[in-house]
Amino acid sequence: MKLPSRVKLVDVGPRDGLQNEKAPVPAAVKIELVHRLQDAGLTEIEVTSFVSPKWVPQMADAAEVMAGIRRKPGVRYSVLTPNMKGFEAAVAPARALWPDEIVVFGAASEAFSQRNINCSIAESIERFRPVVQAAKAANIYVRGAISCAVGCPYEGEVAPERVALVARLMKDIGVQHIGVADTIGVGTPVKVQRAMEAALQHYDLNDVSGHFHDTYGQALVNTLVCLQMGVWQFDTSSAGLGGCPYAKGATGNVATEDVVYLLQGMGIETGIDLEKLIDAGKFISDFLARKPNSRAATALLNQRAN
């Protein structure tokens, strides 16, 4: 077993983590969170989502947030663009305010796809073709996410063949990187390994990542099994922010703090300062008036207090 010597983490807290918060989070707070994350050493941050404010009110300030970020050299800022309207909004301002990367997504579950966007998996991916073409023409990197890669709130377990299908379709439209996402956090190591192997049928090891929610407390072991496969890129969320609006009880993405603690303990380099990262998670958690949903952060904050 050859573990990676270095791992890249994409903190999705500002977007995936905050999008389901009911109370408005001001743009200034979101911007400060991004600044704190990059100051902690994060080089990949998913900042916001250019979606209809009717469907995701929390992301209505996407342009304001992107304009307010103090950009740091070496940091890649990504945004979710679910359609051409979203992409056009993302690139409407001056070039200096454009995202470095866009994210598109497709479900590996037919039921999820039909229930939420009223079309098949294949149709949903095909809708992204013009978005991907426009992004690449503008020299913007394109990352794709395969949601519900191991389980679906409507149809239960998802077969690895479905993951392979979405990966192939994403590859066909020009998506450069694919993330295998356990959106509702029901995955266990063997299931996650099979889903990742399915994605690897169409993408190189350097072009895949894991995205694991922690609903059943399996996100860290699912991360570990992927590390053992050689996967070296993962999505995580500061303070464990987030959840899935379509799966009652689903928690946020695995906490960035917990993954960094795990990796440091394994001697794997991340370039992230854990203490500064904990401060970033505490900042947003304090604003939301709750404790960080990270065991490592909780333990280390308790140590500080004592």
125, 148, 193, 263 from 56: Cα distances, Å: 21, 20, 32, 33
> 92 is written with which tokens?
């409407």
- The answer to whether the beta carbons of residues 282 and 13 sit under 8 Å apart is no
Kindly state the tokens that stand for 62.
Answer: 């996407």
Contact 46, 10 (CB under 8 A): yes
Q: Identify the active-site residue in 148, 152, 226, 244.
A: 244
Find the helix or strand (DSSP H, E) in which 98 lies: none
Give one word for 185, left, alpha or beta, with left for phi > 0 and alpha for psi -120 to 50.
left
Alpha carbon separation from 289 to 25, 48, 98 (Å, rounded): 12, 21, 32
Name residue, tokens 């409507």.
154
Q: What one-character DSSP code corresponds to residue 253?
A: B
Q: Is the dihedral of CA 125, 110, 208, 279 positive or negative?
A: positive
- Identify whether 226 is a catalytic site residue: no
Q: What is the helix (H) or strand (E) element at residue 68, kind and residue range?
A: helix 62-68
Q: Where are the beta strands (DSSP E) in the chain?
A: 8-11, 44-49, 76-80, 101-107, 141-147, 151-152, 156-157, 177-182, 208-212, 233-236
DSSP, collapsed to helix, strand or coil, labels residue 237 as strand
**Residues noted as catalytic:** 244
